Structure 1
Amino acid sequence: MSDETASDRRNSQRLENQTSTIQSLMASAANAAWLRPLLSGAFFAIALWLLHHEFNAYEAADVAASFRSIPINVVLAALFFTACNYTVMIGYDWLGVKLVKHPLSFKQVTIASLLYYAFSNSLGALFGGTPVRVRLYSGWGMTSPEIVRLIVVIATAFWVGLFSLAGLLFVCAPFDIPDRFNLPLANSRPLGIIMLILASTFFAGCALRKTPIHFHGINFQPPPLRIGLAQVGIAMCDFLFASATLFILLPADVGIGFFPFTAIFLLAIIIALISHVPGGLGVLELVFVTMLPQSSHGLVASLLAFRVIYYLVPLMIAIVSIAIASIVNVAKQTCKRRVDPNIDPRSRVGLVVDVTRVVAPRIITGAIFVAGLILLISGSLPAAEGRMKFVREAMPLPVVEISHLLGSIIGALLLILARALQRRIDAAWTLTAILLGAGIVVSLSKGFDYEEASVLAILLLALLPCRSYFYRKGSLLSPSISIDWLASIVMSLGLSIWLVLFAYRHVEYSGDLWWDFAYHGDAPRSLRALLGAAVVFTLVAVAKLLRARPSDPALPTESEFAEVESIVTLAQPTDANLALLGDKQFVFSEDRKAFAMFGCEGKSWITMGDPVGPQESADDAAWKFREACDVAGVYPVFYQVDESNLSRYIDMGLTLLKLGEEGRVPLADFSLEGSHRKDLRRTKKKSGEAGLQFKIIPRAEVPVLIPRLKVISDEWLADKPAGEKGFSLGFFNEAYLARYDIAVVTQSDQPIAFANVLRGANKQELSIDLMRYVEDAPHGVMEYLFLELMLYGSVEGYQYFSLGMAPLSGVDAHRLGSLWNRVSDLMFRHGEHFYNFQGLRAYKQKFDPEWTPKYLASPGGVSTARVLTDVTTLISGGLVKLLHH
């Protein structure tokens, strides 16, 4: 048996082993996608179960009375410390921006920081505060690598500051660990020593490390020691002010000093961060109730006040600010339209508009979820006795009963509608506005709850001027429910159930409770309200399950293809023409002004580039594609997307991977003059001496030329064992080629090379797709064709000539980098046996292009291996061809 056959067997065995490994890893990744929300839910359930036992001695009425009796001067002091805390947190971003050396103004950094922390502190674990920061900074000119470095710098400062302060306090002001936990530690001192050791490694790196640290493809340069100390100082002030906010609210009988209390406060923060429960709800309360030396209903009231002051008040201020900014935007647009009636009503008119358009939908979505939770909580608790006296005199009993039931139903609907708002569905905006108005009425009529009515009124006033941000047409049931969102809704319902059990634990349950209607019947009302909310969730779940599943994707009909063609003619990027190859399916935006083109391979649906069309319509098409993938149970993959649209895919919860860089040659002043163009002049001269001539065949004359082009293509393919590719590359298709002008190089009046000419709208871009030449063509014939096309484009007034992407170029590699980065670098430097990536980059560089990065957006994790295999297989035309490559 030959050595070649033995080698093939070894390669086959290695391929089988690798496939088995990848399949195992993919199964692990699928499990991991469920793991975080399940762990979060488990932490929350355990916290509620333990709190139920801890709160046995407390009455809901006593807690409410203690809450209302907190002195106003104490509340004002807590608000002051909260304001100081949020002011200090601006320092995280300001020092981070300075370290990445980006010239953002202090005003921009302040806006981004305050909005991020107001949102993230309350709801970051569910809605993700990071996209708010990413959208703002990218809109202000930060590149993706700069934003990544900024986030790493801020996260490092946060954790090092947390470990530094916690370590110091755990050692210098240790607290005892209760025996009932059965832990091997008597107090916090050993934990403090470990934290100080971990924090000291950061300071050692600042003082000694002069070269970047590479971690998972990210270059992290430790800051100078002076800056590192400043970062940690900011983090320490952050935690001290947050601790002071709660400490000032504590009742006098707690009996603990500020620094020992702060040590317990930091422990609560660490456990809450580990739990991933939004806002640490239930987890923070459990730590304080079990760790503080004295616990009382006054402590529980202080924790509730802390929730309102530290979490809810900043979120409401952010909402009001967004509303005011939106109103200012409308006023400015009105004034501008009086001067120029043709102005785009959604055009940007300054920094304020940029901020509102970027963050308003996300923050409003989170606030609506909070509003729904507030209504559910209110429906689970008894009404204040003093207010019920007024209600008995002013409201008939049926109105009170119906209002209480409707309050919880509205709360449940708002939790569900928040998901549709996140997807920018216009009907969700309309229904949410109606429900907020109804919520205000029922909050007042069921128990004169003016606090929650005020919150709902603020949200309604904030929602109204933001109408233009919710523009997508679609069904309210169309957005898929992610596991994170489902877990959050289940936790909200679980909290309501727990509150009912806690508030009415002394009420003996019987079937008659369901039919007890009376002004004093708080327990029956809460039971019916809880049932109403549960019925809403059940009906929505059943409706989603019974919805007809969309049919599998098919190639477009003639009318759909005509729509695609009309959209492509208006597109400036030339790669939009790949939609006309005839090998793709399409998802259209609701207004049919944009589409996402995609192909299916394995377990992935893969778009070619960003959706094509106007920005907002393209956003809609992207979301519809994402939702279609969720329904079909496949990976959503966006291949070769632009850096300018990355925030769109971050909003979808996708992970970004750099694929390479696209080269675009500016044509405005392109010429062959100058010493740096001598090689190109030599190419043109030699081509002329070889008798080569360049011409562009008009589209109308192409059908006559097709037979000769077919001969050239077949001869070119005969020398390429891999054969035709597709999807992201053109292939020989007579109908496809007949749509375009053809650039031809002739020798002795015979075509020897050709390429179809792609033109972007408004002469923004010129490019080619399918390139072929005969076997005995003179050396450099394609370079000559490129050169002549660029000169032609310059004369015709085109802005850029696209050379396409150099795959894997610009991807960082290091022995500590991610596996993908290291494989990418290996293929880029040594892949000439397969694709000659490095030579491709060097070849394109001779035209002095501007390089812009291209990315792949996918679910990420271990699924990336499967996604990349599917993408490569799709482009190669099938698994057999891929293995042949």
Structure 2
Amino acid sequence: MSPRFAALFSDRRRVLVAGLTLVVLGLAVWALEKNLAVLNPGEILAHLKSLPRERIAEALLFCGLSYAVLTLYDWLALRGVDHPLPWRQVAPTSLIAFGIGHSVGFQAVSGGSIRFRDYTAAGVPGLKVAGVVALVSVAFALGVATLLGLSLLTSPDDAGRVLHLEPSGIRELGSGLLALVAAYVLLNAIRRRPLTWRGREFRLPGLPLTLGQIVAASTDLCFAAATLYVLLPDTVTLGYPAFVGVFVLAIYAGTISNVPGGLGVFETVLILLLPAAPPEGVLGAVLLYRVVYYLLPFVLALFFLGLRLLATQNERFRRYGSRLQDSVETLAPPVLATTVFLAGAVLLISGATPAIDSRLAGLSEMIPLGLLEFSHLAGSAIGVGLLILARGLYRRLDGAWWLTLVLLAVGAVVSMLKGLDYEEATLLSVILVVLLLSRERFYRRASLLEVRDSQRWLMATVAVVAVAVWVSMLSSRGTDYSREVWWRFAFDDQSPRLMRAGLLTVLLFAGYMLWRLLSPARREPDPPDAAALDRAASIIATFGGNTIANLALLGDKQLLFGPDGDAFIMYQRSGRSLIALGDPVGNPAKVEALTWAFRELADRSSCWPVFYQVSPDQLPLYLDLGLSLAKLGEEARVPLTTFSLVGSKRQSLRNEHRRAQRDGASFAVLAPAEVEAKLEELRRISDDWLTGKSVAEKGFSVGRFDPEYLSRFHCACVLRDGQIVAFANLWLGAGREEMSIDLMRYGPAAPKGVMDYLFIELMLWGNAQGYRWFNLGMAPLAGLENHPLAPFWHKLGRIVHRYGEPFYNFNGLRRYKEKFQPEWRPRYLASPGGLVLPRVLVDTAALIAGGIKEVIWKS
């Protein structure tokens, strides 16, 4: 197996989940096959055509009522996290989140990302938004349990026939479910303190909110069940109360199966629990239900999301503009990728089902048979291509965008040629137009061959291909599978055509997966050479406002450049972590694509992607990558435009400065060209400092004494009797935004308080040179919240801060920096988080210290 696939399946838990999902899908398909052995696909269409328009209108009405109630999920959840918002502000976000989440799947991720961007922009903290997502899931579970329990109690006879149980057993099951709900309600009524589980605290929402959740979720599910109930054939004699229980079971089975959209599972449960109903009528009703309840809200959600973006030009909606524009930037590629994936599924399913006879008869008079056969095969091939390209669209690749446009255009044509499928042609054309209007969202020039196949994409693609092949076999049932049938061609003989399309689908997808399996993994890039370092220096001089970017020039880190060479990420591997230092450096327009490239590089290397010491400015970017954030501490930055030694607050600094001057200290700044002549003198001071402190050179996040590295920078020196007694290399940021120092070394002849004197002179020098900030570096574990509800990481950090003081002097370091009256800015670690975080921290500490041994023992 190639390293690419080894990395994909390295996590055993993910393999287990994927395997179980595919098993569930296989069982669902097998059950459908068994129950629909005599099904004629034409009967499904016949049921749909026979439905009165009044029934469809009723389904639309109940669907609208269900989505209206869905907005209460968010409205109540926001009150549960003590951050209420007006319903008129919550409703649009909730409707769009549910409309997209129901169709895309993975509601907590797809709908959660919409909630995160809108609610955080409205002032809701990120952790509370996570609480909102959790409470929405809890509300759904409460509604399922309540409705199922009531259904079993009110209709025990109907439920007994469906579940093949005695009415007494049905009543006991219903009572048990309602007892669980009642116990949860009682717990919320009597308990005021948070629950504790595995070291984490969970605050209960309280009695009024819990009752509101139960009412809202139950009402929503009742309306959703009614949407399907009115579409069922009249031969379904099950009463509505009992059907609600069947519907809730089917919905819940589809949700917990983890199969995308509950595909096949929802239908299987309904057919198994409604044995007296004609299966073709049930499938026809479910098909129309999916259109009404899923596809239509999905399209409307996309439409209104676009309208909200356009509304930014209107002064009335300008307050929503900035956050919605960010939402569209993030959501457009995933949503379009999902839509293209669904379009591919539609083409595959269409290629596996017979064309409408009347359309085929008309087509036979217009085109030759060979063109019809070719178009049918081309439609299935294009369907497989769209499934594959959807992954590239998700990664915002311009190559995937161009190829998708071509396949959509050709697909619209072949849809008409293979059976006058104008519905498909219209769908593909609409997606084509939307994709054309979204050109600027797909800007990455990375190769399609380097995009890793994610577990979810692979699982969903296998599911679609399997269902398409199964439908093809179902449609061709009764056909004599002899050798001659594969070469039989006729307008009115559709079974061989469907069999050939199914075989082509399997061959194309199997060939693609085999090619990916055997393709070699990319080799890790070599350490940067002189040309790469000069290239990085040019980028830093143009875009490096944050001075930590200069550590790239040390040469000990690998550099990942963007495709246009105007941005880079510096990183090193430690253990199982691929650790980037600081934010990406370079052209802001290329930063997002570069971070995704780094994420993909980590995946190919079977590593965790980690960003160390990132600034608050780029936090949304790391959240979009799916990473978690942990606060490392706070960075001290002194505003140089107001810095001076005048005033009572600067008394201690004046005293330190004057004492050093009385001891004969003077200050000078050497240009890079002058540093080379002083390197041996500087080396002696550095060696004396390392020996006196009994420490070794560190790495990664701090520099070391390297002649080539030091020769690239200015050097601030303290002199005594004409000899250098202390020095620090200067980092000067682009645009005179920031300045800082890296190495700080002094010898035994340096006067007392030499570092204070050096800092003061540097700040005065920076003020005179027009620099805005002087960066004093980070105070580790500073600024962590001291609150009972603070995150676990903050509590752990405060414990380390308290009991680690004798070893690291956390408080002393912060007090030293405080005397310069800086402004504090947080710095974060972005990593996969969870149980991975301790290992990431060990890998990072080992990288900085030079090994695990140096983390524990000073050397």
Q: TM-score, normalised by structure 1?
A: 0.86
Q: Distance in 2 between matches of 1:392 and 1:490?
A: 34
Q: Distance in 2 between matches of 1:314 and 1:556?
A: 51
Q: Distance in 2 between matches of 1:301 and 1:367?
A: 23
In the alignment, structure 1 segments of 5+ residues that lack a partner are: 1-25, 333-347
Tell me, what secondary structure is at the counterpart of 1:477?
helix
Give the direction of change, closer, same or farther, for the CA distance of 1:54–1:846 in structure 2 (3 Å limit): farther
* Residue number in structure 2 paired with 1:54: 35
* Residue number in structure 1 paired with 2:556: 583
Shift of 1:408: 1.0
Shift of 1:97: 4.6
Aligned amino acid, residue 123 of structure 1: V
Matched, 1:252 2:225: no
Q: Distance in 2 between matches of 1:700 and 1:103?
A: 61
Q: Across the two proteins, how many residue pairs are aligned to each other?
A: 843
Give the direction of change, closer, same or farther, for the CA distance of 1:873–1:82 in structure 2 (3 Å limit): same
* Residue number in structure 2 paired with 1:782: 755
Conservation of the 8 A alpha-carbon contact between 1:206 and 1:223? no
Aligned amino acid, residue 884 of structure 1: W
Conservation of the 8 A alpha-carbon contact between 1:268 and 1:284? yes
Tell me, what secondary structure is at the counterpart of 2:443?
coil
* Residue number in structure 1 paired with 2:603: 630
Shift of 1:806: 3.3
Pairing partner for 1:305 from 288, 293, 296 = 288
Pairing partner for 2:260 from 270, 278, 285 = 278
Q: Distance in 2 between matches of 1:851 and 1:233?
A: 47
Pairing partner for 1:490 from 457, 462, 469 = 462
Aligned amino acid, residue 577 of structure 2: S
* Residue number in structure 2 paired with 1:829: 802
Conservation of the 8 A alpha-carbon contact between 2:476 and 2:499? no
Deviations 1:591-627 (A, max 9, x none): 1111121112233322112321223312222222222
Aligned amino acid, residue 241 of structure 1: F
Deviations 1:42-101 (A, max 9, x none): 211111111211223432211121123222222222223323333333333344455656
Give the direction of change, closer, same or farther, for the CA distance of 1:563–1:46 in structure 2 (3 Å limit): same
Matched, 1:261 2:243: yes
Tell me, what secondary structure is at the counterpart of 1:771?
strand
Q: Distance in 2 between matches of 1:183 and 1:825?
A: 59
1:9-88 → structure 2 map (5 Å cutoff) = 30-88=11-69
Pairing partner for 1:715 from 674, 679, 688 = 688
* Residue number in structure 2 paired with 1:549: 521
Q: Distance in 1 between matches of 2:641 and 2:234?
A: 75
Tell me, what secondary structure is at the counterpart of 1:394?
coil
Shift of 1:725: 1.1
Give the direction of change, closer, same or farther, for the CA distance of 1:820–1:292 in structure 2 (3 Å limit): same
Q: Distance in 1 between matches of 2:686 and 2:553?
A: 19
* Residue number in structure 2 paired with 1:411: 383
Conservation of the 8 A alpha-carbon contact between 1:726 and 1:876? yes
Shift of 1:733: 1.6
Q: Distance in 2 between matches of 1:252 and 1:681?
A: 93
Conservation of the 8 A alpha-carbon contact between 1:858 and 1:864? yes
Aligned amino acid, residue 218 of structure 2: M
Conservation of the 8 A alpha-carbon contact between 1:214 and 1:814? no
Shift of 1:637: 2.7
Q: Distance in 2 between matches of 1:675 and 1:258?
A: 81
Shift of 1:356: 2.6
Give the direction of change, closer, same or farther, for the CA distance of 1:213–1:445 in structure 2 (3 Å limit): same
Give the direction of change, closer, same or farther, for the CA distance of 1:798–1:409 in structure 2 (3 Å limit): same
1:299-378 → structure 2 map (5 Å cutoff) = 299-321=282-304, 353-378=325-350
Deviations 1:551-601 (A, max 9, x none): 232112322222111111122222111111110111111111111211122
Give the direction of change, closer, same or farther, for the CA distance of 1:99–1:551 in structure 2 (3 Å limit): same
Aligned amino acid, residue 301 of structure 2: A
In the alignment, structure 2 segments of 5+ residues that lack a partner are: 1-6, 315-319
Conservation of the 8 A alpha-carbon contact between 2:571 and 2:581? yes
* Residue number in structure 1 paired with 2:271: 289
Shift of 1:37: 1.7
Pairing partner for 2:738 from 746, 765, 778 = 765
Pairing partner for 2:406 from 395, 418, 434 = 434
* Residue number in structure 1 paired with 2:531: 559
* Residue number in structure 2 paired with 1:12: none
Tell me, what secondary structure is at the counterpart of 1:447?
coil
Deviations 1:653-712 (A, max 9, x none): 444444344344444545567776666566556656666555544434333443333233
Conservation of the 8 A alpha-carbon contact between 1:137 and 1:147? yes
Give the direction of change, closer, same or farther, for the CA distance of 1:748–1:137 in structure 2 (3 Å limit): farther
Q: Distance in 1 between matches of 2:441 and 2:149?
A: 46
* Residue number in structure 1 paired with 2:317: none
Point out the more displaced range, 398-407 or 266-275.
266-275
Give the direction of change, closer, same or farther, for the CA distance of 1:879–1:193 in structure 2 (3 Å limit): same
Aligned amino acid, residue 119 of structure 1: I
* Residue number in structure 2 paired with 1:574: 547
Identical residues among aligned pairs (%):
39
Conservation of the 8 A alpha-carbon contact between 1:608 and 1:638? yes
Tell me, what secondary structure is at the counterpart of 1:254?
coil
Conservation of the 8 A alpha-carbon contact between 2:118 and 2:323? no
Shift of 1:470: 0.1
Deviations 1:124-172 (A, max 9, x none): 3398443344345556666543443443444444444444444554555
* Residue number in structure 2 paired with 1:123: 104
Shift of 1:417: 0.3
Shift of 1:120: 1.5
Aligned amino acid, residue 529 of structure 2: T
* Residue number in structure 2 paired with 1:614: 587
* Residue number in structure 2 paired with 1:7: none
Give the direction of change, closer, same or farther, for the CA distance of 1:275–1:779 in structure 2 (3 Å limit): farther
Give the direction of change, closer, same or farther, for the CA distance of 1:140–1:414 in structure 2 (3 Å limit): farther
Q: Distance in 2 between matches of 1:207 and 1:272?
A: 34
Deviations 1:431-465 (A, max 9, x none): 11111111111112211222222221221121111
Tell me, what secondary structure is at the counterpart of 2:170?
coil
Aligned amino acid, residue 683 of structure 2: K
Q: Distance in 2 between matches of 1:160 and 1:645?
A: 38
Q: Distance in 2 between matches of 1:780 and 1:238?
A: 71
Pairing partner for 1:190 from 165, 173, 179 = 173
Point out the more displaced range, 105-114 or 515-524.
105-114
Give the direction of change, closer, same or farther, for the CA distance of 1:131–1:790 in structure 2 (3 Å limit): farther
Aligned amino acid, residue 216 of structure 2: I
